[in-house]
Homo-oligomer: A and B are copies of this chain.
Amino acid sequence: RHTLFEFLLRMGDNTLILGHRLSEWCGHAPALEEDIALANTALDLIGQTQLWFGLAGEVENKGRSADDLAYLRDAYEFRNLLLAERPNGDFGKTLMRQFLFDAWHYLCLQALLGSSDRRIAAIAEKVSKEVAYHLERSRDLVIRLGDGTAESHARMQAGLDDLWPYTGEMFIEEAPDAALAAASVAPEPSSIKAEWHSLVAETLSEATLKKPADGYMHKGGRRGIHTEHLGYVLAELQFLQRAYPGATW
């Protein structure tokens, strides 16, 4: 049960933190269509967070609500990928982060459609259409901007180079993974690595971007060892629940 709970936190923490980062753009995107698209993606991700955390609270069975899980844990209790908490940078970096994440997210959800846990399969079913659309969109923009002007190309490449060391973590086995895979609850992280790489390689090639060499890879997010950025995200995200404990909103 604890293993399952950890898995659900991972899923919800990814969507919560990335949704937070996207919503930081509100009103500041380079085109109105992008303001709308970013808000829409953030909205999907927050909705997904509610689903994952709702189930996590149920599985944990200690009476914690989805909001409790979002608002009343400190950084070391978060299980998101470090990629999700990377600062936005320029809009190109934000899009690149989104594409790298969406590609993983999509493949992960595809695998979860066949989860032996029906509740997980049902959530995956429900959200995979949203995420397929996120991927379609971010992939398309990466291609267009990579193959746009010299400046847009350079910015997308810089974003890619900067974020690449945060992609290795997606495929690392952590303690709970073997048990989850054995029970057919969730795929082993490494099982989607090849597909992710080929999807990314194909997109980058179409975008005329250079796929970085696989060098040093950051890790730790799924074990609660984050970057220094997450603490600031949570201070902001959780302020009201922390400052007015027990209040209803």
Contact with B along A72-103 (1 / 0, CB 8 A): 00100000000000000000000000000000
Q: What CA separation (Å) do A231 and B239 show in the bound complex?
A: 9
Residues of chain B within 8 A of A234, CB atoms compared: 239
User: Is A243's CB within 8 Å of the partner chain B?
Assistant: yes
Q: What CA separation (Å) do A239 and B231 show in the bound complex?
A: 9
Contact with B along A202-239 (1 / 0, CB 8 A): 00000000000000000000000000000110111011
Instruction: State how many angstroms separate the Cβ of A48 from the closest Cβ of chain B.
Output: 25
Chief secondary structure at chain A's binding surface: helix
Max count, chain B CB within 10 A of own CB: residue among A232, A234, A235, A238: A235
User: Is A242's CB within 8 Å of the partner chain B?
Assistant: yes
| CB-based nearest B residue for A232 | B236
Asked if residues A243 and B236 are in contact (CB atoms below 8 Å), the reply is: no
| CB-based nearest B residue for A241 | B242
Asked if residues A235 and B239 are in contact (CB atoms below 8 Å), the reply is: yes
Q: What CA separation (Å) do A239 and B239 show in the bound complex?
A: 7
User: Is A245's CB within 8 Å of the partner chain B?
Assistant: yes
Instruction: State how many angstroms separate the Cβ of A38 from the closest Cβ of chain B.
Output: 20
Residues of chain B within 8 A of A236, CB atoms compared: 232, 235-236
Q: What CA separation (Å) do A243 and B234 show in the bound complex?
A: 10
Q: What CA separation (Å) do A231 and B242 show in the bound complex?
A: 13
Asked if residues A74 and B243 are in contact (CB atoms below 8 Å), the reply is: yes
* Interface pairs (13), CB distance under 8 Å: A74-B243, A231-B239, A232-B236, A234-B239, A235-B235, A235-B236, A235-B239, A236-B236, A238-B243, A239-B242, A242-B242, A242-B243, A245-B245
